[in-house]
Amino acid sequence: MHASAMPSANANTRAAGWRFSRDHDKWARVDAADAEPVGSLGTSNKLRLATFNCLHDWTLGDVLQHEVRHDAICQELAALNADVIGLNEVTRSLLERVLREEWVRSRYTVSAVPEDARCNHLLSVLPSAGAMGNILLSKIPPSSVNYIDQIGDGRHSHVMTLCLADPQGGRPLRLAVSSSHLTACPWLMEGRRKVQLEHITSAMLESTDIDACVDTCVVMGDFNFHREAENASIPQGWEEVPAIVALGATWDFARNRMLAHYLPLRNLYNGLGLGASFGWPSPMRLDRVLVHGTGLDCAAAEARLFADQPIHERARGQPPLPHAGRELREAHRALPWQDYLFCSDHFGIFYELPIARSTERL
């Protein structure tokens, strides 16, 4: 079986995430049998989603100012008011920070929490050095939460199944949404990424652990496609959202001043210090969204980037540092964080997908 359901003392009980209990002042597991079967998007009839690679916090604390970034990330996410949020490179410290937010506790169901031992197989909750994974947050109560083992790196894609009411009175839309993060590194890992993506997408379509009769599937996250030629790895029947493609790069030396500071002076992306012409090309569309099925109107989607500005106003409008050379060497890790810090090395993607009429989903 492709997807791994959450371990449980009761084999007949399936999970539907965790919600914060005011009565017990803690996050409480929701069993699928107790989940609300249908959610509503109101009059907008649009599903609002966001995906963001948060950048882990295991290294370079003096450069990356993790507490400052985590505060800024929470502010960015709160302002989105998204129905579903997928996060990558989530460490336990970031997860605990997000779970303390009042807007999360009052409105969202989450796919994992650190205090429940049934989540101990997930890298996003482990306190060990180097552990980082995915997480999903949903304002729409999911009917199930599952995890897909990711080939080659120990991570899991988190999957929520949602059931959305049709405002025209037609049959509800059953939707599976995944937050995924494929293995990094250009060239050498392209084959692994292709296998990982095939595994994730086939698991979402075929596994009975996810849910039967799902109309539409969405896979969002950091695909780490370093070349547009890797689009050939997208499985048949899955499509990108045109409005998201039109946004362009989510990883960009020219727009994200922090990249020149947190990467080593000599790195793959600046040609090992020889200059941009010798390095891997920037910008790159590392973050992607794929959709399968007819339940969402991808052609009518709207999208924008978020977390694409420096955290401190002092850095706004300042030109990027060069990829190599004297100016970079003199400034490298020597400037105060107010002059360069972003929420992450990635920009986030916020997008709205209209729900197709029930007659169009047949």
pLDDT tens-place string over residues 154-202: 999 999 999 998 777 778 899 999 999 999 999 999 999 999 999 999 9
Read off the pLDDT of each residue in 341-345 and give the average, rounded to a whole number. 98
pLDDT of 188 reads 94
- The CATH number of the domain holding residue 160 is 3.60.10.10
Please give the Cα distance from 84 to 137 (Å, whole number).
Answer: 6
Residue 361, pLDDT above cutoff 80: no
Confidence band for 277, pLDDT divided at 50, 70 and 90: confident
Answer whether residue 29 is part of any domain: yes
Residue 283, pLDDT above cutoff 90: yes
Confidence band for 1, pLDDT divided at 50, 70 and 90: very low
CA atoms within 13 A on the CB side of 178: 32
Whether pTM exceeds 0.75:
yes
Chain segment 73-130, per-residue pLDDT in tens: 999 999 999 999 999 999 999 999 999 999 999 999 999 999 999 999 999 999 998 9
pLDDT of 169 reads 76
pLDDT of 239 reads 97
Burial class (CB in 10 A: 0-12, 13-18, 19+), 159: buried
Answer whether residue 213 is part of any domain: yes
Residue 47, pLDDT above cutoff 90: yes
Q: Any residues with CB less than 8 A from the CB of 104 and at least 6 apart, and which? A: 20, 98, 110, 137
How do beta strands 15-21 and 26-31 pair? Answer: antiparallel
Helices then strands (H, E): number in the chain?
8, 15
Please give the Cα distance from 111 to 160 (Å, whole number).
Answer: 8
Answer whether residue 279 is part of any domain: no
Confidence band for 140, pLDDT divided at 50, 70 and 90: very high
Residue 141, pLDDT above cutoff 50: yes
* DSSP output for 258-279: THHHHS-SS-GGGTTTT-GGGS
Confidence band for 211, pLDDT divided at 50, 70 and 90: low
* DSSP output for 19-35: EEETTTTEEEEEEGGGS
3-state helix, strand, coil in the chain (%, to 5): 25, 25, 45
| Domain around 220 | 23-250+285-307+342-361
Higher-pLDDT residue of 5, 276: 276
Q: How far is CA 239 from CA 76, 272, 289, 299, in A?
A: 27, 35, 8, 11
Please give the Cα distance from 250 to 16 (Å, whole number).
Answer: 31
Answer whether residue 317 is part of any domain: no
Number of other CB atoms surrounding residue 152 within 10 Å: 14
Q: By the 8 A CB rule, do 110 and 155 touch?
A: no
Tell me the pLDDT of the chain averaged across its residues. 91
Residue 332, pLDDT above cutoff 70: yes
Residue 342, pLDDT above cutoff 60: yes
Task: Specify whether the backbone of 297 is left (phi greater than 0), alpha (psi in -120 to 50) or beta.
Answer: beta
Answer whether residue 210 is part of any domain: yes
Answer whether residue 50 is part of any domain: yes
Please give the Cα distance from 147 to 156 (Å, whole number).
Answer: 6
Answer whether residue 260 is part of any domain: no
> Which 8-state DSSP code applies to residue 83?
S
Sheet holding 239-240, edge to edge: 3-4, 144-149, 156-164, 173-181, 216-222, 287-292, 239-240
Answer whether residue 326 is part of any domain: no
- Name which of 119, 50, 125 is nearest 346 in CA terms: 50
| Domain tally, the chain | 1
pLDDT-above-90 percentage for the chain: 81
